Chain A
């Protein structure tokens, strides 16, 4: 399987990504996650303004086959969610690193990012899954 892993992103073991810039993380699901899920049909997004803890549930996703939880790569306040996903959840399949982003989070503790994998580590992690 040919999986897209982006160089400047950080990754979780549950296949979420975070792109951190100036104290704000944009988060989403990786190519590996969207491919395993298959056609995404529904997303339950968190409320803007609420707080989330690192590796705690951020959102949930449904595909034709199954429902699963999405965990937050960082702790912090949710600044914004991608409401385009309400009517077009398939954006997760079509463009998981861009149009299919899930939330923007104000990073509460920049030290936490040391618990995430960089692209090289995530590629090795994916290689070991197969």
Chain B
């Protein structure tokens, strides 16, 4: 399969980025080094090329269009200028994708979805919406740069007038370097940060301007470490069609008061007892858990599987996320690895990185 390239591809090559396939795209995994880019995000300002993600627009009333039935989060009380995280499910309650719904205006919604699932998601929307005219997939025309880090607000203020008024999970339209942009105060790092949706054919200019102003380019490698430390799920790892929101610990992003696709199946599943839950753990050593390794209880019983793992540059220890069959209380010892070779870890509360500037 030919990998797709974002509008920033040539600029990544110019920066000598290492490129890797991700969700059908040729993406930068690192520039200077994952740990350096990680620290830039935790202490300063980093920028990420996120042009690969999908952006859908729906025009009309949430209930009348059918949008409300497609997503799990409550839209009824979502105010204009705010966005909310949730999921779209299949009829059996499996997670088709996780997504954020933006209310740009009373009857104007933007839905941001994962890159790998974008085409299937668009087909699902078109099938499920009451009128196909209300739907517009603008993924190709829409570029996206994430600006993340404790200094991101002060950094962006000279470029985006009024950005300091955006609250956590707020969104608004701005003029950014003479182009119409949508900016939200959201991210995937646990730090104060913004996501800028921008015309794809103009976004190279924005990227270069952010670099000139001193932002550090960061790749998917750093992004993965940052999100694992926060315990954020990644589609294809913690969540997939084979996993329900109840298994994934995402029930708080479900509005049980409304009707949505997959609700019946989830209610039935809940009644029978949920089979899995997620956990977060910190290794006793620098050893990193790896996806696919097993998780064992203190008394050596196999209880689950590692869904994501990495080295935490802040804790100087391995950290991991896992799906397990039983609740493991915080502070309890677990092991990860193979039956022949295990490393000790401790079940931890989320997030394992607790000094983030997310709500600063």
Q: Which residues of A contact B (CB under 8 A)?
A: 38-39, 41-42, 62, 64-67, 89-90, 93
Q: Which residues of B contact A (CB under 8 A)?
A: 18, 29-30, 33-35, 221, 225, 285-288, 290, 310-311, 318
Main secondary structure on A side of the interface with B: loop
Sample of 15 A–B contacts (CB below 8 Å):
A39-B33, A41-B288, A42-B285, A42-B311, A42-B318, A62-B286, A62-B287, A62-B288, A64-B34, A64-B225, A64-B288, A65-B221, A67-B290, A90-B35, A93-B33
Instruction: Beyond A41-B288, A42-B288, list 9 extra A-B contacts (CB 8 Å).
Output: A39-B311, A41-B311, A42-B285, A42-B287, A62-B311, A64-B34, A64-B221, A64-B311, A67-B288
Contact (A65, B286) CB under 8 Å given A38-B221, A41-B311, A42-B311: no
Q: How far is the CA of A66 from the CA of B20 in the complex (A)?
A: 14
Asked if B33 and A41 make an inter-chain contact with CB atoms under 8 angstroms apart, the answer reads no
Give every chain B residue within 8 A of A67 (Cβ-Cβ).
288, 290
Instruction: Determine how close the nearest CB of chain A comes to the CB of B358; give it in whole angstroms.
Output: 22
Instruction: Determine how close the nearest CB of chain B comes to the CB of A33; give it in whole angstroms.
Output: 15
B35's partner among A39, A42, A62, A66 (CB-CB below 8 A) is: A39
Instruction: Determine how close the nearest CB of chain A comes to the CB of B223; give it in whole angstroms.
Output: 12
Q: How far is the CA of A39 from the CA of B316 in the complex (A)?
A: 13
Q: How far is the CA of A48 from the CA of B29 in the complex (A)?
A: 37
Asked if A38 and B287 make an inter-chain contact with CB atoms under 8 angstroms apart, the answer reads no
Give every chain B residue within 8 A of A42 (Cβ-Cβ).
285-288, 311, 318
Instruction: Determine how close the nearest CB of chain B comes to the CB of A85; give it in whole angstroms.
Output: 10
Give every chain A residue within 8 A of B18 (Cβ-Cβ).
38
The residue in chain A whose Cβ has the minimal distance to the Cβ of B34 is: A64
Q: How far is the CA of A41 from the CA of B33 in the complex (A)?
A: 12
Instruction: Determine how close the nearest CB of chain A comes to the CB of B160; give it in whole angstroms.
Output: 32
The residue in chain B whose Cβ has the minimal distance to the Cβ of A86 is: B286
B34's partner among A39, A62, A89 (CB-CB below 8 A) is: A39
The residue in chain A whose Cβ has the minimal distance to the Cβ of B222 is: A64
Asked if A38 and B33 make an inter-chain contact with CB atoms under 8 angstroms apart, the answer reads yes
Give every chain A residue within 8 A of B221 (Cβ-Cβ).
38, 64-65
Q: How far is the CA of A67 from the CA of B309 in the complex (A)?
A: 12
The residue in chain A whose Cβ has the minimal distance to the Cβ of B288 is: A62
Give every chain A residue within 8 A of B286 (Cβ-Cβ).
41-42, 62, 89
Instruction: Determine how close the nearest CB of chain A comes to the CB of B120; give it in whole angstroms.
Output: 28
Greatest chain A CB density within 10 A among B225, B285, B286, B310 is at B286
Greatest chain B CB density within 10 A among A42, A66, A89 is at A42
Instruction: Determine how close the nearest CB of chain A comes to the CB of B222; give it in whole angstroms.
Output: 9
Instruction: Determine how close the nearest CB of chain A comes to the CB of B250; give it in whole angstroms.
Output: 26
Q: How far is the CA of A41 from the CA of B30 in the complex (A)?
A: 16
Instruction: Determine how close the nearest CB of chain A comes to the CB of B19; give it in whole angstroms.
Output: 13
Q: How far is the CA of A38 from the CA of B36 in the complex (A)?
A: 11
Give every chain A residue within 8 A of B34 (Cβ-Cβ).
38-39, 64-65
The residue in chain A whose Cβ has the minimal distance to the Cβ of B35 is: A39
Give every chain B residue within 8 A of A90 (Cβ-Cβ).
35
Asked if A38 and B30 make an inter-chain contact with CB atoms under 8 angstroms apart, the answer reads yes
Instruction: Determine how close the nearest CB of chain A comes to the CB of B351; give it in whole angstroms.
Output: 18
